[in-house]
Chain A
Amino acid sequence: DTEVTQTPKHLVMGMTNKKSLKCEQHMGHRAMYWYKQKAKKPPELMFVYSYEKLSINESVPSRFSPECPNSSLLNLHLHALQPEDSALYLCASSQAGLKKIPYTFGSGTRLTVV
Protein backbone atom coordinates (compact mmCIF):
# COMPACT_ATOMS: atom_id res chain seq x y z
CA ASP A 1 0.00 0.00 0.00
CA THR A 2 1.63 3.25 -1.15
CA GLU A 3 -1.24 5.63 -0.58
CA VAL A 4 -2.42 8.24 1.84
CA THR A 5 -6.20 7.97 2.14
CA GLN A 6 -8.26 10.95 3.21
CA THR A 7 -11.92 10.95 4.16
CA PRO A 8 -14.30 12.49 3.47
CA LYS A 9 -13.48 13.86 0.02
CA HIS A 10 -15.96 16.70 0.41
CA LEU A 11 -17.44 18.26 3.55
CA VAL A 12 -19.90 21.10 4.03
CA MET A 13 -20.32 22.31 7.59
CA GLY A 14 -21.96 25.14 9.42
CA MET A 15 -20.07 27.50 11.67
CA THR A 16 -21.47 25.85 14.80
CA ASN A 17 -20.78 22.28 13.72
CA LYS A 18 -18.09 19.90 14.92
CA LYS A 19 -16.57 17.61 12.32
CA SER A 20 -13.40 15.61 11.80
CA LEU A 21 -11.14 14.91 8.85
CA LYS A 22 -9.37 11.58 8.72
CA CYS A 23 -6.07 10.54 7.15
CA GLU A 24 -4.64 7.02 7.00
CA GLN A 25 -1.45 5.45 5.66
CA HIS A 26 0.07 1.99 5.91
CA MET A 27 3.55 2.69 4.57
CA GLY A 28 5.20 2.71 7.97
CA HIS A 29 5.79 6.45 7.75
CA ARG A 30 6.29 8.01 11.18
CA ALA A 31 5.85 11.65 10.12
CA MET A 32 2.40 12.92 9.15
CA TYR A 33 1.34 16.38 8.08
CA TRP A 34 -1.72 18.57 7.67
CA TYR A 35 -1.67 21.28 4.98
CA LYS A 36 -4.27 23.87 4.06
CA GLN A 37 -4.51 25.00 0.44
CA LYS A 38 -6.55 27.91 -0.85
CA ALA A 39 -7.39 28.17 -4.54
CA LYS A 40 -4.43 28.93 -6.79
CA LYS A 41 -2.04 29.08 -3.85
CA PRO A 42 0.63 26.66 -2.68
CA PRO A 43 -0.11 24.49 0.37
CA GLU A 44 0.47 25.99 3.82
CA LEU A 45 1.79 23.74 6.55
CA MET A 46 -0.48 23.50 9.60
CA PHE A 47 0.80 20.64 11.77
CA VAL A 48 3.47 17.95 11.78
CA TYR A 49 3.41 14.79 13.88
CA SER A 50 6.61 12.84 14.32
CA TYR A 51 6.42 9.44 16.04
CA GLU A 52 2.85 10.28 17.07
CA LYS A 53 3.92 13.45 18.89
CA LEU A 54 3.09 16.96 17.74
CA SER A 55 6.34 18.32 16.35
CA ILE A 56 5.26 21.50 14.57
CA ASN A 57 2.21 23.74 15.02
CA GLU A 58 2.38 26.66 12.62
CA SER A 59 0.38 28.97 14.92
CA VAL A 60 -2.88 27.45 13.78
CA PRO A 61 -6.07 28.73 15.49
CA SER A 62 -7.41 26.45 18.22
CA ARG A 63 -10.58 25.78 16.24
CA PHE A 64 -8.37 23.26 14.42
CA SER A 65 -7.31 20.42 16.70
CA PRO A 66 -5.04 17.65 15.41
CA GLU A 67 -4.83 14.16 16.83
CA CYS A 68 -2.56 11.23 16.04
CA PRO A 69 -4.05 8.17 17.77
CA ASN A 70 -1.53 5.74 16.26
CA SER A 71 1.25 5.57 13.69
CA SER A 72 -1.19 5.05 10.79
CA LEU A 73 -3.89 7.58 11.58
CA LEU A 74 -4.07 11.35 11.69
CA ASN A 75 -7.23 13.30 12.45
CA LEU A 76 -8.09 16.96 12.24
CA HIS A 77 -10.98 18.00 14.49
CA LEU A 78 -12.88 21.08 13.40
CA HIS A 79 -15.04 23.27 15.60
CA ALA A 80 -16.56 26.73 15.18
CA LEU A 81 -14.93 27.32 11.83
CA GLN A 82 -15.26 30.48 9.80
CA PRO A 83 -16.13 30.77 6.09
CA GLU A 84 -12.52 31.79 5.39
CA ASP A 85 -11.46 28.33 6.57
CA SER A 86 -13.00 26.89 3.42
CA ALA A 87 -10.13 25.25 1.55
CA LEU A 88 -8.60 21.98 0.41
CA TYR A 89 -7.07 20.18 3.40
CA LEU A 90 -4.24 17.88 2.43
CA CYS A 91 -2.64 15.17 4.49
CA ALA A 92 0.86 13.90 3.76
CA SER A 93 3.26 11.39 5.21
CA SER A 94 6.98 10.66 5.06
CA GLN A 95 9.71 8.82 6.86
CA ALA A 96 10.78 10.62 10.01
CA GLY A 97 14.13 12.03 11.04
CA LEU A 98 15.85 12.12 7.65
CA LYS A 99 16.99 15.13 5.63
CA LYS A 100 16.00 13.80 2.21
CA ILE A 101 12.50 12.49 2.48
CA PRO A 102 10.01 11.93 -0.30
CA TYR A 103 6.48 12.85 0.64
CA THR A 104 3.27 11.05 -0.16
CA PHE A 105 0.20 13.28 -0.32
CA GLY A 106 -3.44 12.38 -0.09
CA SER A 107 -6.09 13.58 -2.51
CA GLY A 108 -7.46 16.03 0.04
CA THR A 109 -10.74 16.97 1.68
CA ARG A 110 -12.55 19.89 0.07
CA LEU A 111 -14.08 21.78 3.02
CA THR A 112 -16.79 24.40 2.66
CA VAL A 113 -17.88 26.35 5.74
CA VAL A 114 -21.31 27.97 5.42
Chain B
Amino acid sequence: KNEVEQSPQNLTAQEGEFITINCSYSVGISALHWLQQHPGGGIVSLFMLSSGKKKHGRLIATINIQEKHSSLHITASHPRDSAVYICAVNSGGSNYKLTFGKGTLLTVNP
Protein backbone atom coordinates (compact mmCIF):
# COMPACT_ATOMS: atom_id res chain seq x y z
CA LYS B 1 0.00 0.00 0.00
CA ASN B 2 1.26 3.47 -0.85
CA GLU B 3 1.89 5.86 1.99
CA VAL B 4 1.53 9.56 1.17
CA GLU B 5 3.10 12.05 3.54
CA GLN B 6 2.63 15.80 3.33
CA SER B 7 4.51 18.55 5.08
CA PRO B 8 3.92 20.84 6.73
CA GLN B 9 0.52 19.96 8.22
CA ASN B 10 -0.20 23.64 8.88
CA LEU B 11 1.33 26.70 7.27
CA THR B 12 0.72 30.38 7.99
CA ALA B 13 2.09 33.02 5.65
CA GLN B 14 1.86 36.73 5.00
CA GLU B 15 0.34 37.94 1.78
CA GLY B 16 2.93 38.01 -0.97
CA GLU B 17 5.13 35.26 0.42
CA PHE B 18 6.35 32.28 -1.60
CA ILE B 19 4.78 29.04 -0.35
CA THR B 20 6.04 25.48 -0.70
CA ILE B 21 4.10 22.35 0.27
CA ASN B 22 5.80 18.97 0.03
CA CYS B 23 4.52 15.48 -0.70
CA SER B 24 6.38 12.19 -0.58
CA TYR B 25 5.15 8.72 -1.36
CA SER B 26 6.51 5.24 -0.75
CA VAL B 27 5.68 3.21 -3.87
CA GLY B 28 5.91 3.90 -7.60
CA ILE B 29 2.93 5.75 -9.05
CA SER B 30 1.24 6.35 -12.38
CA ALA B 31 0.16 9.89 -11.50
CA LEU B 32 0.19 12.41 -8.65
CA HIS B 33 -2.57 14.94 -8.06
CA TRP B 34 -2.62 18.23 -6.21
CA LEU B 35 -6.07 19.18 -4.97
CA GLN B 36 -7.44 22.28 -3.23
CA GLN B 37 -10.31 22.36 -0.76
CA HIS B 38 -11.67 25.52 0.83
CA PRO B 39 -13.24 25.09 4.30
CA GLY B 40 -16.58 23.32 4.03
CA GLY B 41 -16.29 23.20 0.27
CA GLY B 42 -15.77 20.79 -2.56
CA ILE B 43 -12.46 19.77 -4.06
CA VAL B 44 -10.80 21.44 -7.02
CA SER B 45 -8.20 19.56 -9.01
CA LEU B 46 -5.14 21.79 -9.49
CA PHE B 47 -2.63 19.54 -11.24
CA MET B 48 -2.07 15.99 -12.38
CA LEU B 49 1.61 15.10 -12.81
CA SER B 50 3.53 12.07 -13.90
CA SER B 51 6.84 13.81 -14.59
CA GLY B 52 8.51 17.21 -14.68
CA LYS B 53 6.80 20.45 -13.88
CA LYS B 54 3.48 22.19 -14.53
CA LYS B 55 2.50 25.83 -14.08
CA HIS B 56 -0.90 27.46 -13.89
CA GLY B 57 -1.00 31.13 -12.98
CA ARG B 58 0.75 31.55 -9.63
CA LEU B 59 0.82 27.81 -8.95
CA ILE B 60 3.71 25.53 -9.88
CA ALA B 61 3.88 21.78 -9.28
CA THR B 62 6.98 19.65 -9.66
CA ILE B 63 7.63 15.96 -9.30
CA ASN B 64 10.82 13.92 -8.94
CA ILE B 65 9.96 10.33 -9.77
CA GLN B 66 13.32 8.92 -8.66
CA GLU B 67 13.05 10.56 -5.25
CA LYS B 68 9.28 9.91 -4.97
CA HIS B 69 8.66 13.52 -4.09
CA SER B 70 6.51 16.37 -5.32
CA SER B 71 6.20 20.02 -4.37
CA LEU B 72 3.46 22.58 -4.84
CA HIS B 73 4.62 26.20 -4.94
CA ILE B 74 2.46 29.30 -4.70
CA THR B 75 4.09 32.56 -5.75
CA ALA B 76 2.86 35.93 -4.46
CA SER B 77 0.41 34.27 -2.06
CA HIS B 78 -2.95 35.90 -1.44
CA PRO B 79 -5.57 35.44 1.31
CA ARG B 80 -7.85 33.71 -1.21
CA ASP B 81 -5.21 30.95 -1.44
CA SER B 82 -6.13 29.97 2.13
CA ALA B 83 -7.36 26.38 1.86
CA VAL B 84 -6.37 22.78 2.46
CA TYR B 85 -4.01 21.43 -0.19
CA ILE B 86 -4.13 17.68 -0.67
CA CYS B 87 -1.65 15.44 -2.45
CA ALA B 88 -3.06 12.19 -3.86
CA VAL B 89 -1.54 9.42 -5.97
CA ASN B 90 -2.69 6.72 -8.37
CA SER B 91 -0.74 3.52 -7.81
CA GLY B 92 -1.19 -0.20 -7.68
CA GLY B 93 -3.46 -2.26 -9.86
CA SER B 94 -6.52 -0.08 -9.82
CA ASN B 95 -6.71 2.95 -12.08
CA TYR B 96 -9.56 4.30 -10.00
CA LYS B 97 -8.20 4.40 -6.47
CA LEU B 98 -6.51 7.45 -5.10
CA THR B 99 -4.35 7.38 -1.98
CA PHE B 100 -4.63 10.72 -0.22
CA GLY B 101 -2.24 12.59 2.01
CA LYS B 102 -3.67 14.18 5.15
CA GLY B 103 -3.57 17.64 3.65
CA THR B 104 -1.82 20.92 4.42
CA LEU B 105 -3.89 23.74 5.89
CA LEU B 106 -2.61 27.01 4.44
CA THR B 107 -3.60 30.34 5.96
CA VAL B 108 -2.47 33.50 4.19
CA ASN B 109 -2.88 36.65 6.25
CA PRO B 110 -3.34 40.09 4.66
Chain A contact residues, CB within 8 Å of chain B: 6, 31, 33, 41-43, 45, 48, 50, 55-56, 88, 90, 92, 94, 97-108, 110
Contact = CB atoms under 8 A, between A and B. Distances in A.
A90 B43 CA distance: 8
Given A56-B97, A100-B48, A102-B48, A43 B43 contact: yes
A102 B31 CA distance: 9
Given A42-B101, A42-B103, A100-B31, A105 B45 contact: yes
A99 B43 contact: no
Contacts of A41: 102
Interface in B12-37: 30-31, 33, 35
B16 to A, nearest CB: 28
B6 to A, nearest CB: 10
B30 A105 contact: no
B40 interface: yes
Interface string B93-109: 01111101111000000
A110 B35 CA distance: 19
A97 B94 CA distance: 10
Contacts of A94: 96
B50 interface: yes
B52 interface: no
Nearest to A97: B95
